[in-house]
Chain A
């Protein structure tokens, strides 16, 4: 009985497939590749326009006369990646990001969890945070230089400040959004306060914490580059600003591209960490 059904099913499937086979296959392949293809096309078009504008030294109120061509930047990049000093600049920026961002996460997450859980603590801590929060990280540069013995430390501190507030506020929001039914369920299964914290509040707030980290990572780069431009020795922000002072136009663009790529990679890392830390959210709606 089931054999007959299967045979019938097979036959009808075959007749259906024969006619549109090739286009259907192509269609499926195209659907998979389409977004990637469009992405390449979009970047290609951008570089093409850049080439047209710079090679012809267009002056349309916005002046492309001094902007280097993509070819010039590529040639410069090929050299720079063999230059130890350039590699050093990239590495120093990455190191500062790691230190500042890790420090911010290590302070902001526990602080957000604790202030989110205990009202008294929230009332004591949050007023100060609310006052400090609107101050952009760049405005901290002079203060940071006064506070910290070395320039290196003040730049890391600026990066810390930049990513600290997004992580803190998102962690707090995550704590406020924990569904009380999970807390009640845990308590009726014998959980005590300490258990609630690690077994319920922390995992329940984790998606929001990672949202805060993604935002924080972006702000960390903004703050780092600004700090390096103002106060830096070494670093890709310093490199980019130096290139302007030294009239090395290709290096300006090279620096900008490196900053963009590094920012992209670091937010990718945060997303990968989120996936690893929250295996339950895989295959759910959203990401």
Chain B
């Protein structure tokens, strides 16, 4: 068993002393080995911060982040990361990008070339191996990004809104691609998104975060059977889950904006508007 992520009483503050701002406070979650877990919440709730801490880019102010019982001390090839922005090295070809992690492990050129080609073949990208990232579409770039993160054989895969910049159609195809890769590898995945359907479609469990300072508001199991097709989104079960998650996020979004707008205030506004409208 490997790839067990454990976050306990995690808090992260930006700044020092009185000026310190809590981005995340007292958050606990876990991802068991081979599980696909999503973290969803209103914008600015600190979900990317949590992911960055698991990836080793940030140290918690309080609490701890462990993977297989080992404290995360910094980024490493064991913690694969797929970024929100396109992060393929523009100066490397698709294959060289995928080879990068293997090169860092000291694998010989011929061996890593073969390994990268095998991975690209599985992802249907082999015919683009000699293309530069600038010659690829957004969806293909992120596909290469996922393959690149998987290449050095990480224990966990962390994804930070990887499909946020893609159009709806490409996005849904990419979700399928990611599911396929995950099922092939049985790797633990922590997936950050603000898209409710995406979180439900992909995950075994979904954590909903509160508004800033973020902590866990609810943990929702997704009992939908796998393999899931796009049609699953039309099922009654999916609809029930969607309403549940969206209700929770709505509450937090309203709280993040400073509370419900009062009906009395709205009345006043409409009265002022009426003469002008007539």
Contacts and interface: CB of A to CB of B under 8 A. Distances in A.
Interface residues of B, number: 30
Interface string A190-209: 11100100011001101000
Q: How large is the interface on A (under 10, 10 to 19, 20 to 34, 35 or more residues)?
A: 20 to 34
Contacts of A287: none
Interface stretch (B71-79, B205-213, B237-245): B71-79
A107 interface: no
B104 A185 contact: no
B3 to A, nearest CB: 15
A189 B87 contact: no
Nearest to B79: A188
Interface in B76-95: 76-77, 79-81, 83, 85, 87-93
Given A188-B56, A188-B79, A280-B132, A182 B87 contact: yes
B89 A185 contact: yes
Contacts of B62: none
A181 interface: yes
A4 B148 CA distance: 45
Nearest to B84: A181
A200 B89 contact: yes
Majority SS at the chain B contact face:
loop
B274 interface: no
B81 A184 contact: yes
A16 interface: no
Contact of B101 (A182, A190, A192, A280): A190
Contact of B77 (A184, A189, A200): A189
Contacts of B152: 189-190
Interface of B: 55-57, 74-77, 79-81, 83, 85, 87-93, 100-101, 104-105, 132-135, 148-149, 152
16 contacts: A181-B83, A181-B87, A182-B89, A184-B83, A185-B83, A186-B89, A187-B57, A188-B55, A188-B76, A188-B79, A188-B81, A189-B77, A191-B104, A192-B104, A200-B89, A278-B91
Given A188-B75, A189-B77, A203-B89, 9 more contacts: A185-B88, A185-B89, A186-B89, A187-B57, A188-B149, A189-B104, A280-B93, A283-B135, A284-B134
